[in-house]
Structure 1
Amino acid sequence: MKKILSCFLVCAFLCTGLYGCGSKKTELIEEAKDLTLSQEISITPEQNDYGIPAYNFLKHIQSNYPGRVAGTEKETEMAVFILSVLLNGGYAESDIAIESFEIDDSTPMMDEAIQNVFDGGEKSNSSQNILITKKGESEKTIIVGAHYDSAGTHGVDDNGSGVSVALENALRMVNTPTYYTIQYVFFGSEEPGMYGSRAYVESLSEKERENIILMINIDTVLAGDYLYLYGGKVNDNGTVDNTEAVFKAYEIVKEIGLNIQLPPDGNNDYPYPTGQKRSDHAPFNDIGIPYIYFEANNWENGSPVETEKNGLIMHTDMDDLDFIENEYSGRVQNTLSSYSILLYSLLQENNWEQ
């Protein structure tokens, strides 16, 4: 997941404007139109099949897009797949934007014992965010974010799972009236230093920043022993504020009866209820935008170990759908379902503004 580099985010976008290069958008859109999707992953989600479309997306990602290292051909192929799902799911080209940015040659953090690193193909110094805007009654906006690059593995836990939950939700919401505008952002190149989310935040105008009332980040929600919500900004004195959104989300969790929890209190390194710091919500948090972070992990011993049985799944060759399903029967479907139900419920709320 998330090695924060000390390097300064590369400054310039490849093209002018918030939405990046028109020619790149055209190129990727045309490739997406030519991509043939199986019936299994092009069916509109039904009312009560939460998590099933996400699972079908995840199986497709497992089979077709391993090794999505930042800047590689395979990362771009994943971007085309995401666009194809959205276009087939009812979004118009006018709803979609591509934001291009530069990256350096950094390598994502990996388990040194890893045996199965996939070749992502030719590597470049550029990547892209995919932005989909679903208009609501209000200009006030909720960002739903998930990064689609990986650390060189199959990357179904980190972060095919987040992409799949976000894609399922985007298809559910395409014709669903909402009070808030929803913008889905599939971030490129998170692994080597959150390049995509930093590029997105740096591109925002003052008005656009003011309109964002909440960021929901979905990262690594597949293999962990427990399902968590995090939120809040840590101050210099160690206190935490800006927690209203995550506590509101937790009240919704309890009302629905989902098996999702806040992290344990009392950890000085990860002040309650903030949890992990190293993901795409961080740049939003840095400018004061409230966030809710979905992550499956295990904090029972005071630090994030992901699973008691196998330790970290992310960034290892255990980040493989076949392995996870064999080791943890039923976990994949249950986790995807729980987070899919929660995300849909959160986006139906019309009183997120503080």
Structure 2
Amino acid sequence: MLSADYLRQQFTQMGYQSDIRTFNSRFIYTTKDNRKNWHNVTGSTVIAAHEGRVPQQIIIMAHLDTYAPQSDADVDANLGGLTLQGMDDNAAGLGVMLELAARLKDIPTHYGIRFIATSGEEEGKLGAENLLKRMSDAEKKNTLLVINLDNLIVGDKLYFNSGKNTPEAVRTLTRDRALAIARRYGIAANTNPGRNPSYPKGTGCCNDAEVFDKAGISVLSVEATNWNLGKKDGYQQRVKNASFPNGNSWHDVRLDNQQHIDKALPGRIERRSRDVVRIMLPLVKELAKAEKTS
């Protein structure tokens, strides 16, 4: 996978030990006549390690894959495929992860940091599932937090959400601290208001972080959407308009690309990416217990 090779090269140039793990999986494809067939896929996971002084670690994660059509209907609707840029979902998330890696590379930390780019997220969190499966019990126990970066650009509002199973004390140190840092810098940031009973206040859903949440590992999801719209489940990213007729850009070749987003939301890509880094960098330094540098 070209994107996996590119990411590994970027990490290596920064001075990180980085490798690519491949895995085999499959998803169901539905044809026009409603026949369902298994499609085999090979996924790639890129991992870069920032070693700490102790075995405990924080994972910063973003998925590198774009949506693959899962039916003939998807193909007909221009959803997914090789022409999908995926600026919102999830090139910007990868860009933020790389920027954090670059800023943190020379800063000693008490806890280790793993930068992980997963694949197969769009086919059902396949890469995250494989990553969790390959972790030893000790690695799971030593993983203090998983931070997931996904869909950062098109959404009206920037959100920081915890996992349903993340302890209250960890929510305070992670989600609430992120919101406090945002306020300090004058950056508008929110948490899910909980207007849909299926998604309690302050929690997120439906991304790679969910895999770790269900395994009892604390998570922090960073995303942009609008939890006040539609079914109030985070799926509608913004008010419907001519540029985004359904109120989102999900998997649409015509909408989730740099040219369209720059025209519809001038300056948004750079501004939102910068805002996320401004919040996440001091937060990760705090959580990983970074040493003071002169």
What band does the TM-score fall into relative to the shorter chain?
0.7 to 0.9
Instruction: Name the SS of the counterpart of 2:220 in structure 1.
Output: strand
Per-residue CA deviation, residues 92-118 of structure 1 (Å, 9 max, x unaligned), is: xxx22322211114459xxxxxxxxxx
Q: Which amino acid aligns with 1:339?
A: V
Aligned to 1:149: 65
Q: Distance in 2 between matches of 1:107 and 1:260?
A: 38
Q: Which amino acid aligns with 2:176?
A: F
Task: State the shift of 1:351 in Å.
Answer: 7.2
Task: State the shift of 1:227 in Å.
Answer: 0.6
Aligned to 2:33: none
Aligned to 2:225: 297
Q: How does 1:241-256 map to 2 (within 5 A)?
A: 243-244=171-172, 245-256=174-185
Q: Is 1:282 the counterpart of 2:207 in the alignment?
A: no
Aligned to 1:87: 12
Task: State the shift of 1:241 in Å.
Answer: 9.0
Q: Distance in 1 between matches of 2:263 and 2:41?
A: 37
Q: TM-score, normalised by structure 1?
A: 0.68
Aligned to 2:191: 262
Aligned to 2:257: 320
Task: State the shift of 1:256 in Å.
Answer: 3.6
Q: Distance in 1 between matches of 2:288 and 2:238?
A: 35
Per-residue CA deviation, residues 2-49 of structure 1 (Å, 9 max, x unaligned), is: xxxxxxxxxxxxxxxxxxxxxxxxxxxxxxxxxxxxxxxxxxxxxxxx
Aligned to 1:55: none
Structure number with the higher strand fraction is 2
Stretches of structure 1 lacking an aligned partner (at least 5 in a row): 1-75, 109-122
Q: How does 1:75-154 map to 2 (within 5 A)?
A: 76-91=1-16, 95-106=17-28, 125-151=41-67, 152=81, 153-154=84-85
1:326 to 1:161, Cα distance in 2 relative to 1, 3 A: same
Instruction: Name the SS of the counterpart of 1:191 in structure 2.
Output: helix
Task: State the shift of 1:297 in Å.
Answer: 0.5
Aligned to 2:75: none
Q: Distance in 1 between matches of 2:181 and 2:95?
A: 22
Moved more, 339-348 or 97-106: 97-106
Q: Distance in 2 between matches of 1:345 and 1:257?
A: 15
Task: State the shift of 1:314 in Å.
Answer: 2.0
Aligned to 1:224: 155
The sequence identity of aligned pairs, in percent, is 27
Q: How does 1:5-44 map to 2 (within 5 A)?
A: none
Residue-pair matches, total: 256
Task: State the shift of 1:250 in Å.
Answer: 2.3
Task: State the shift of 1:142 in Å.
Answer: 0.3
Q: Is the Cα–Cα contact under 8 Å of residues 102 and 125 in structure 1 kept in the other structure?
A: yes
Q: Distance in 1 between matches of 2:150 and 2:15?
A: 25
Stretches of structure 2 lacking an aligned partner (at least 5 in a row): 31-38, 68-80, 290-294
